[in-house]
Amino acid sequence: MSIIKSFSVGDGDTYYIKHNSDNFSIIDCYLTNENKTFIMDEIILESSKKGVTRFISTHPDHDHICGLEYLDDKLNIRNFYCVKNEASKEDETDDFNRYSNLRDDSKKSFYIQKGCSRNWMNNYTNERGSSGINILWPDPTNIYFKNELIKVKGGESPNNISPIIEYNLENGVTAIWMGDLEKEFMENIKDNLVLPKVDILFAPHHGRGSGKIPKDLLDILDPKLVIIGEAPSEHLNYYEKYDKITQNSAGDIIFECLSGKVHVYVTNDGYTVDFLDNEGANSFKNYIGTLNL
């Protein structure tokens, strides 16, 4: 069994995966004065019995690294995963400076790219198993990606240096995160992508229309469930024809991942959907149904 948790943090992203091996992964953070204490208490507790904890940063925008300094001070990040870049900001915050320090620290950073491998990320050893994480993008030789690296070095938006992250549980769920990739950029790189069918898709750019996945890529992914983030409702694309959970309404979402199925729980007890099976799961509060794979 593994646990994926998507925190309801407003217009930002904070996720963790408590793996079914000796691994714990955090993907992005948006920690504010209002939420940082209870989120960090939970992360510290849930990761405390894992031998390897990694932080995966999709890109250094405020809504994906807010509170990184606080998180690092509390957790002492020793495995910092990011795309190799030289992003700069006109107005450097403490969190961006901490991102830059971690990114440039050769003892802590690991640069992710399409097809990369690393012990315990996707390689087994005698010491411990794999986390089941694979990186499907970026391809550092791709001209469109190279152009984005030039832009971010000059202080432009880092949205399109976001990686595509796949998590796969053996005999279980496949989930994908795409950071804040934008629709036009995805159109440009789609012929260079090799994507699997997925069970859970975390919609890029918090579900905004500007990050809507092109139809031919969406047809390949064919997600069973799309998670729509917390961008303002007027900017959201609701992925018509797909089953979805909207985090604006659901609150925190917990995915209890087992062989062949995922039990789903939310924090808002009035939230319901009609497309999940009722198997009476009760590991957490507010069970809303089971996604059978």
Query: Which of 218, 226, 274 lies closest to 6 in space, CA to CA?
Result: 226
Q: What b-and-e string marks burial along 122-157, b requiring 16 or more CB atoms within 10 Å of the CB?
A: beeeeebebbbbbbbbbbeebebbeebbebbeeeee
Confidence of residue 207 (pLDDT cuts 50, 70, 90): confident
Structural contact between residues 222 and 199, judged by C-beta atoms closer than 8 angstroms: no
pLDDT of residue 232 exceeding 90: no
Structural contact between residues 229 and 14, judged by C-beta atoms closer than 8 angstroms: no
- Over residues 186-211, the mean pLDDT reads 94
Distance CA 280, CA 257 (A): 15
pLDDT of residue 21 exceeding 90: yes
Confidence of residue 260 (pLDDT cuts 50, 70, 90): very high
- Over residues 24-31, the mean pLDDT reads 98
Structural contact between residues 167 and 17, judged by C-beta atoms closer than 8 angstroms: yes
Q: Is the peptide bond before 138 cis (omega within 30 degrees of 0)?
A: yes
User: What pLDDT shows up at residue 206?
Assistant: 87
> Which domains does the chain possess?
2-292 (3.60.15.10)
At 56-104, the pLDDT tens digits run 999 999 999 999 999 999 999 999 999 999 999 999 999 999 999 999 9
Mean pLDDT of the chain: 96
- Over residues 164-193, the mean pLDDT reads 97
- Over residues 177-200, the mean pLDDT reads 97
Q: How are beta strands 15-18 and 261-266 bridged, if at all? A: unpaired
- Over residues 150-170, the mean pLDDT reads 98
Query: Is residue 110 classed exposed, middle or buried when 0-12, 13-18 and 19+ CB atoms within 10 A define those classes?
Result: middle
pTM comes to: 0.97
Structural contact between residues 187 and 213, judged by C-beta atoms closer than 8 angstroms: no
